């Protein structure tokens, strides 16, 4: 069947992760995505290495975020190139940018200028901390955003300093939020015929990520979250919530009545603790559970706990996840290839439409790989 966004043209003027990841999602849903890059060096993300792994001259990070896109090389300091880009903007459905506040306006491609060129355009921008205010000019970088958001005080154990999450969660979540807003604006455009402005920031995405716990904080006297001293997994959840070592690995236990766990392990010592103790004596209880779970293999505990409807799971690393039958059935991996023949093994879209997951064999482009074809097609 036709992909949901087939026929839509998206201009990706963004760099790094958040904006380009939103363009990636739209491409997975069927949109045509043209990545607009500076000639020569292109998107800075091309040389932003997670490790020393280089694939065809670009970082694995760039390959992951920019598959299924075309590349148009444009020098925004050139009057001719800028005029050509404006002609392309007049034809586009969506424009995504993540320049620092004020930069895109100085180039003559701010929202009002773009709207004058194309009233149907959905114009999407992602910043670090909003377009104005005392943090507006700070670099919109993931670790900095995590540090400002409060989220680092939810990881690690009580008594430790702040611990960041080892993923670019601000970038990835901001990309998802931006995609959500773009899709909503496209639906509205289908009704009214008018485009619109969609904005978010790394900080807003992280605040939204914490909405469950922040709501608790805002309604219980603004008490700060108290991480567990032992096996912390959530600052607001009672024992036994956490990850515990077994004889041969690790086992995750989610929320459950202590009496249920006491009877199933079995662990008679737990029977002395009530529901309120699960919060007030959280670390004490977790230590009792940890001693018991360390006596047997993970498989032993899964066989015992799952039939009793105790919420638990084995803790897998990537090799074991990728080898699992459950992961294989999801069909989440693909090999893409770009024009020069460079293959990259990567993930697929996380959403299925009409029972099917988007699949594209085209990898991330080289800088300006499609410039000549795009200029000829659009008369640039």
Q: What is the DSSP string of 254-297?
A: -S--HHHHHHHTT-GGGGG--TTHHHHTHHHHHHHHHHHHTTS-
Cα 13 to Cα 23, 111, 334, 361: the distances in Å are: 10, 13, 26, 23
Selected catalytic residue, list 52, 171, 208, 354 = 171
Give the global pTM.
Answer: 0.93
Residues 6+ apart with CB under 8 A from 200: 126, 127, 174, 177, 178, 181
| Residue 356 or 97, more confident | 97
Dump pLDDT digits (tens) for 26-78.
999 999 999 999 999 999 999 876 767 788 889 999 999 999 999 999 999 99
171 a catalytic residue: yes
How many angstroms separate the most distant Cα atoms in the chain? Answer: 79
Please state the rounded mean pLDDT for residues 346-361.
89
Please state the rounded mean pLDDT for residues 258-265.
94
Dump pLDDT digits (tens) for 130-154.
999 999 999 999 999 999 999 999 9
Q: Which domains, ranges and CATH numbers included, belong to the chain?
A: 9-209+331-378 (3.40.50.10540), 242-322 (3.30.1540.10)
Provide the pLDDT for residue 272: 93
């Amino acid at each position: 069947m036709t992909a949901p966004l087939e026929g839509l043209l998206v201009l990706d003027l963004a760099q790094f992760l958040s904006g380009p990841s939103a363009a990636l999602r739209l491409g997975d849903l069927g949109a045509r995505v043209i990545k607009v890059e500076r000639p020569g060096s292109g998107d800075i993300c091309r040389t932003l290495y997670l490790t020393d792994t280089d694939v065809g001259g670009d970082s694995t990070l760039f390959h992951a975020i920019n598959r299924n896109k075309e590349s148009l090389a444009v020098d925004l300091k050139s009057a001719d190139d800028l005029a050509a880009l404006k002609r392309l903007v007049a034809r586009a459905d969506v424009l995504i940018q993540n320049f620092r506040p004020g930069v895109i306006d100085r180039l003559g491609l701010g929202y009002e200028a773009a709207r004058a060129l194309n009233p149907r355009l959905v114009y999407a921008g992602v910043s670090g901390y909003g377009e104005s205010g005392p943090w507006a000019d700070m670099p919109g970088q993931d670790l900095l955003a995590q540090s400002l958001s409060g989220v680092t005080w939810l990881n690690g154990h009580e008594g430790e300093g702040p611990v960041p999450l080892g993923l670019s969660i601000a970038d990835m979540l901001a990309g998802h939020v931006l995609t959500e807003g773009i899709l909503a604006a496209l639906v509205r455009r289908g009704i009214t015929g008018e485009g619109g402005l969609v904005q978010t920031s790394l900080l807003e995405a992280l605040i939204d990520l914490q909405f469950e716990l922040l709501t608790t904080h805002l309604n219980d006297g603004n008490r700060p979250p108290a991480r567990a001293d032992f096996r912390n997994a959530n600052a607001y959840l009672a024992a036994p919530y956490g990850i515990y070592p077994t004889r041969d690995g690790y086992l995750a236990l989610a929320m459950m009545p202590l009496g249920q766990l006491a009877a199933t392990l079995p662990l008679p010592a737990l029977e002395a603790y009530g529901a309120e103790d699960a919060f007030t004596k959280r670390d004490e209880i977790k230590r009792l559970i940890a001693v018991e779970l360390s006596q047997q293999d993970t498989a032993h505990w899964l066989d015992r706990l799952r039939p009793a409807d105790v919420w638990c799971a084995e803790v897998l690393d990537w090799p074991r996840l990728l080898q699992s039958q459950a992961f294989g059935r999801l069909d989440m991996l693909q090999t893409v290839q770009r024009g020069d023949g460079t293959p990259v093994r990567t993930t697929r879209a996380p959403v299925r439409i009409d029972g099917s997951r988007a699949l594209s064999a085209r990898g991330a482009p080289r800088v300006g790989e499609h410039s000549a074809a795009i200029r000829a097609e659009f008369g640039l």
